[in-house]
Amino acid sequence: MLVLGISGSPRKEETSGTYKVVKTVLEASGCDYELLSLRGRNISGCIACLGCVKDNVCKVEDDLAQLREKIVNADAYVIGAPNYYSGMNVAMHALLERFFQFRHQEGSLLWGKLAVAVGIGGMGGSFPADDIERLLSYNFIETIAKVAGQGAASCFSCGYGETCKVGVPYMAYGEGVKITEDNTPDVTKQADVMHSAVDAGKLLGERLLDGHDRMAVTQRMQQRLMEKFKGTV
């Protein structure tokens, strides 16, 4: 079983909370995995050209072309995104928009696969994790666990965080705040977050190895989407 992890953070691996939590989930799964970062990749959003409707292959020429085969071949996904303005960041949104290519003419390439969604935000990561779950559901991918944690907002390293009155350190700790390692949020020091990442990984490994029935997952996910769309058109 091969699990594909994708971190949507533009930060370097060693400073990105998203990357670290995605990696923790992957390691805990006990499965073979590959971890990719969208950092430095040029992937635009869907342009609705419909070039993919006949063969389920996106015709936009950018860095997604190199990832397509990995996405198709993976048995499951661990997808993580930073919280930008109470939602997943644009890089991850663009990538998941382009999953549109897999959906045409009952294209079943991704149907019934499993995922763990990871969201990391300066305040919290539940919004991006929910967004990831929603976008994956359109390909009948079931998000079996969500992990949300608190990363360091840029204000902790921008150089003005101790005095800037709209920055997170000032707003969180008030006048006279001194930024230290101890008061800078770090997902790896949040025991509850790391536990939930490990639990999510273990669950993913168990579900994959325990006779994962893609057809049953597909039917359940289709039912959920039909309930969502019922009466809306």
d(CA 194, CA 192): 6
CB atoms within 10 A of CB 122: 19
Which of 9, 24 has the CB closer to ligand FMN? 9
Query: Tokens 């360091």 identify what position?
Result: 152
The HSE-up count of residue 174 (CA atoms within 13 Å, CB side) is 0
Which of 42, 154 has the CB closer to ligand FMN? 154
**Considering the rule CB under 6 A, would residue 16 count as an interface residue with ligand FMN?**
yes
Window 129-168: residues binding ligand FMN (CB under 6 A):
151-154
Q: What is the DSSP letter of 46?
A: P
**Considering the rule CB under 6 A, would residue 86 count as an interface residue with ligand FMN?**
yes
Which of 45, 124 has the CB closer to ligand FMN? 124
- Residue from 11, 39, 41, 104 in contact with ligand FMN (CB under 6 A): 11
DSSP secondary structure string for all residues of 123-149: S-SHHHHHHHHHHHHTTT-EEEEEEEE
User: Minimum distance between the CB of residue 146 and ligand FMN, rounded to whole angstroms?
Assistant: 15
Q: Which residues bind ligand FMN (CB under 6 A)?
A: 9, 11, 16-18, 82-86, 120-124, 151-154
